[in-house]
Amino acid sequence: MGLEYGSPAARKFITTIGLITSDGPWGPNIMAAEWTHHISYNPGLIAVFPRPSRATTENIKKTKVFGVNIAAIDQNVISSIAGGNTGKEIDKIAVLKELGFEFYPAKKIKVLMVKGAAANIECKLVKTVKLGDHTMFVGKALEVSSIEKESIAYNGGKYYRLGEKIEKPPQEVLDKIAITLERHKKK
Ligand SMILES: Cc1cc2nc3c(=O)[nH]c(=O)nc-3n(C[C@H](O)[C@H](O)[C@H](O)COP(=O)(O)O)c2cc1C
C-alpha cells in the first residue's frame, strides 16, 4: 500500500533539510530534500532521494557529484525557494544570489555550496538505486565542514527549531531499567 505525501503517518517523520546543489544539463542548481540521510561514518556516506523528474536527478546522473548543505535555522527561505521551483524553469541560484544569499565554489567538485549552512558536504556519487517513486543517490564525502549553527527541523510541511531537551528519567527509573536489562541478558 502507499504511504502518501501529507498522510497522517507520513507527517510523523521529523527530518533535516538537505539543500542539494548540483551542476550538469540544467546548469548550477539547488533543491530542498527532506530525505537526506547520513548512512555511514567511515567512509562518510550520505543518501539523498530526489524523484526521477527533478532537474537535480538529471544533473547528478550526468556529473556524478553533488553538494549536501544541511539547512540552518535561518535558511528556511532558501529551502522554500529551492523546494518550490524547478531548475528546469528557473535559475534558482541567480534568484537566491539576487535575494542576498551566498554560495562558494566547492573545493573537491564542480558545484556551488551554500554559505552559512549548518554543514557542507561535498559528495562523489558511489551508488544509484531506483527505489519506488524516488531514486537513491549515495554520495561519498570528499570534503566536510560545519559551523556552530543549529540545523532546521522539518515536520508536516513546516519548519521548526529544536525545542527543549527531554530530561532523563529519575535515577530510580534508570536503576529499574538497568536491573531489568540484566535480568533479560541472553545466555
Ligand atoms: C522542505 C522540502 C523538502 C523536500 N524534499 C524532497 C525530497 O526529499 N525529495 C524530492 O524528490 N523532492 C523534495 N522536495 C521537492 C523538491 O525540492 C522540488 O520538487 C524542487 O522543485 C526540485 O528541484 P529541481 O527540479 O530543480 O531539482 C522538497 C521540497 C521542500 C520544500
Q: Please write the tens of the pLDDT for every residue from 73-107.
A: 999 999 999 999 999 999 999 999 999 999 999 99
Count the Cβ atoms, other than its own, within 10 Å of residue 151: 20
Q: Please write the tens of the pLDDT for every residue from 26-46.
A: 999 999 999 999 999 999 999
CA of 178 relative to ligand 1 center, distance in Å: 44
Ligand 1 contact, 91 CB (< 6 A):
no
What DSSP element (H or E) covers 33? strand 29-33
Q: Please write the tens of the pLDDT for every residue from 54-70.
A: 999 999 999 999 999 99
pLDDT at 77: 98
Average pLDDT, the chain: 97
Domains and CATH numbers, the chain: 10-183 (2.30.110.10)
**Measuring from atom 10 of ligand 1, which residue has the nearest CA?**
50
Q: Please write the tens of the pLDDT for every residue from 156-187.
A: 999 999 999 999 999 999 999 999 999 999 98
pLDDT at 134: 96
Instruction: Name the residue of 48, 54, 57, 131 whose CB sits within 8 Å of the most ligand 1 atoms, as the mutation to test its pocket.
Output: 54
* Collapsed DSSP state (helix, strand, coil) of residue 17: coil
pLDDT at 16: 98
pLDDT at 178: 98
Helices within 4-134 (DSSP H only): 55-63, 76-84, 92-98
Which residue carries 564542480 as its cell? 110
pLDDT at 165: 95
Ligand 1 contact, 85 CB (< 6 A):
yes
Q: Please write the tens of the pLDDT for every residue from 99-153.
A: 999 999 999 999 999 999 999 999 999 999 999 999 999 999 999 999 999 999 9
